[in-house]
Amino acid sequence: MEDARNNQAAHSASGDLSERFDARWPLGVQLPKLLLASSSPRRSEILRIVGWDFEVGAVEVDESLRPGEDARAYVERLAAEKATAAADVHAHRPVLAADTTVVVDEQILAKPEDADDAKRMLRLLQGRWHEVLTGIAVVLNSETRVAHEQTEVMFAPMSEVEISWYVSTGEPMDKAGAYAIQGQGARFIKAINGDYFNVMGLPVRLLYELVRR
């Protein structure tokens, strides 16, 4: 009886710390509860929208761009570093980390430093296409899986009055590329080619593929 209780307790602890599957569904569609290594409210919102169980365990890493590093390598490296750092703290937990950036004319547009920097970014983006890249990393069963998603976004032309107004809302200040497609910035998005959730900051389909791999 004691062994049975110990086995039951061990099973319960394992379920809390890792995958917590529902026996009603086949393994192919069940999702592990994730530790989200990000304080981004947008990534949390996306996981809630798609019904993916998670907890937040944000970590900090140096996000400086390395010499000669292109945008794809940059977002994948940061995602992997965040995931690894979180996994070191939360052992035996499935971990998810992500990093998003915007690219136009081979320039990487991260979060603006101030209002003037946000206006500069919007002037670069207005009236043209740009790329949004998100690197994601999943640590699952001691294996780190890394990939990135790319989406093309077309901005409508913006007047200086519109740029100043949008920056004054404060919305651009903590966003890569100085805009939020799911917020007031949506009024300036003319077209999108690819994954909408990627532009928000978390490509769900790519995440699902990495977890099922």
Q: Which residues pair with 98 in a beta bridge?
A: 136
The active-site residue, picked from 3, 22, 53, 99, is 99
Residues 6+ apart with CB under 8 A from 127: 155, 156, 157, 158
pLDDT score for 58: 85
State the CB neighbour count (10 A cutoff) for residue 177: 29
DSSP 204: H
Mean pLDDT in order along the chain per 10 residues (213 residues): 40 38 51 93 95 92 91 96 93 93 94 97 98 97 94 98 98 96 97 97 96 88
Structure tokens at 151: 């989406």
Distance CA 28, CA 211 (A): 10
Instruction: Identify the CATH class of 2-212.
Output: alpha beta
State the CB neighbour count (10 A cutoff) for residue 68: 6
Q: Is 53 an active-site residue?
A: no
pLDDT score for 6: 42
CB 158 within 8 A of CB 126: yes
